[in-house]
Amino acid sequence: MNRYNLLCIIYCSFGAFFYGYDSGLTTSIIGYPEFIEYFNFNATTLGALGSAYYAGNFVGSLLNIWLPDKFGRLNVVRFASVISILGAGLQTGAKSLGVLLAGRAIGGIACGIIVALCPLYASEVSPPHVRGRVGGLYNININVSYSLTEWMGLGFSYIKSGQLKWRLFIGLQLLCAAIMLLGSIWMPESPRWLVVQQRHEEALRVLEKLHGTNSNESEDDEEVPFYRREFNQIEAQIRLEQENPQLGIISIMKRPSYRKRLLIILFFFMFQQLTAIIPLQNYQVILYQSLGISGKIPLVLVGVWGSLGVIFSCGGAFFFDKIGRRKSFFISMSGVLVGSIMLVAFWARYEHSGNTDKILGDLALWSMFVYLVGYAWILNSFGYAYTPEILPMEIRATGLAFGFAMLNAIIIMLVQVTPIAIAAISWRYFLIFVFTDAIFIIVVYFKFPETANVPLEEVAALFGDKVAVKLHDANTLEAQDGEKGVNVAEHLENDQITGEEQRPKMS
């Protein structure tokens, strides 16, 4: 991978930090008595604080159905950054709960756009052999941002001025948006989007800049350089897909291979959230207090939670391309399922003891961290890498928009009901997630194909669709005039690869 490509991937991954800081700061802020008292929060309005933000995320996700394909990936990133600055300003200066919630909702729209768009953009500028690690890097950045906000939450808790601590904490969202906006100046547009727009020469120049020295083999070993073969394959596959254009969700659902891909994405994001990551992460201060932990220790544990997330997400990211998507997923879910069962069992026994058996309370606490180790390993990375790579170019933005809308719809429900459910039924609430974990594992085992190291344009074969040309065959014709790649689609009409003929091996 050359330096420019690495810079682009780092920029894309900062979208995760952008999102993680905005979504993670409330985890610590709700532990500030001054913040709770200033807005007179109760269980219902506390849930509304999270719901407003994730409702904005939901709207932002749906905007990605149209915006990225119409205006390009980078212009939409810039638009979202400006929206974030507006939302952060409202939150920072909020004098009433209504203004705070409005600011959270507007900021949520920006984050909903960014968190879905950046993995899409990253997948379109990354070479096949590092896409998993790029998704892992995205996950690492989310965990780094969570960890940073959680330790900052502890540090700001020592500020004596009650309002300053949380207004400063919220106001730093402005810095994230400014970095994202300014960084876009040096970024290229997605070469795949450029091909769709018939801007072929520009797309070829971008690919040369990104992947001119980027392949698993030396360019001396190939008659045509990697970036030219990649361009040939992209152009051919997009031409093939555009022969039967899919317009809207109804048309997508009518085509079996596209419908299957969309349903996989919707299922993944629904059940990823039904592992209980949001109830455990966003309301961990409440959970710690329920297990008899008080004072500043809950804020310390919040910081430890974030730090462990960073450590184990790094391990998962390193092995993601090496051992594949499916094996990585099952390693993650093993920890999630075991941790969830332990939490329910020990918390139930702790409550049965009249909340007096400290050992049982500590075991329930450690169960939460067993869960975290499993979840952090790859579950976020899986979504950021796998979901964009199974979608063809023509529906990639639409499919991810619906996927992240599903994610945010489930989160809205969870953030609203969790404080009420914990107060009403305590450990029994988390028993629900044990059953959803089991369903998650079974469906992924039978329905999710392996995609590690498969070029984006060849993933179609996994779902029974035609592939115009395989990457190693895309060097059969020389590029025209040294600038524009050949139209391999026209030359290979009788040599198209179908899912039955050349299906990449699945684990």
- For residues 308-329, average pLDDT: 90
Give tens-digit pLDDT for 376-396: 998 988 988 899 899 888 888
- pLDDT value of position 246: 54
CB atoms within 10 A of CB 158: 8
Average model confidence (pLDDT) across the chain: 85
- pLDDT tens digits for range 250-291: 778 888 999 999 999 999 999 999 999 989 988 888 888 888
Q: What is the pLDDT of residue 99?
A: 94
- Beta bridge pairs of residue 497: 467
Do residues 507 and 450 touch, judged by C-beta distance below 8 A? yes
Structural domain boundaries in the chain: 3-190+247-447
Q: What 3 state SS string does 330-384 have?
A: HHHHHHHHHHHHHHHHHHHHHHHCCCCCHHHHHHHHHHHHHHHHHHHHHHHHHHH
Four-CA torsion 426, 268, 270, 342, nearest 10 degrees: 0
In terms of Cα–Cα distance, which of 145, 112, 150, 113 is closest to 26?
150
Fold of the CATH domain 3-190+247-447: Growth Hormone; Chain: A; (1.20.1250)
pLDDT tens-digit map of 14-52:
988 998 898 888 877 887 888 989 999 887 888 788 889
More confident position, 128 or 188: 188
| pLDDT tens sequence across 104-162 | 999 999 999 998 899 889 988 988 778 788 888 888 888 888 888 878 888 888 888 77
pLDDT at residue 216 tops 70: no
Among 177, 180, 191, residue whose Cα is nearest residue 235: 191
Note whether 142 and 17 are within 8 A (CB): yes
Which pLDDT value is given to residue 274? 96
pLDDT of residue 267: 97
Q: Are 56 and 106 in contact (CB under 8 A)?
A: yes
Contacts of 221 (CB under 8 A, 6+ apart): none
Is the model's pLDDT at 222 over the cut of 80? no
Global pTM? Answer: 0.78
Angle at 131 between CA 130 and CA 135, to 5 degrees: 115
Q: Which pLDDT score, from 0 to 100, does residue 476 have?
A: 54
Say how many C-beta atoms besides its own lie within 10 A of residue 102's C-beta: 17
- Quote the pLDDT of residue 501: 42
- What percent of the chain clears pLDDT 70, i.e. is strictly above it? 90
Predicted pLDDT at 494 = 43
**pLDDT tens digits, 452-487:** 888 878 888 999 888 877 777 666 544 443 344 444
pLDDT value at position 495? 43
pLDDT digits 0-9 by tens, 261-270: 999 999 999 9
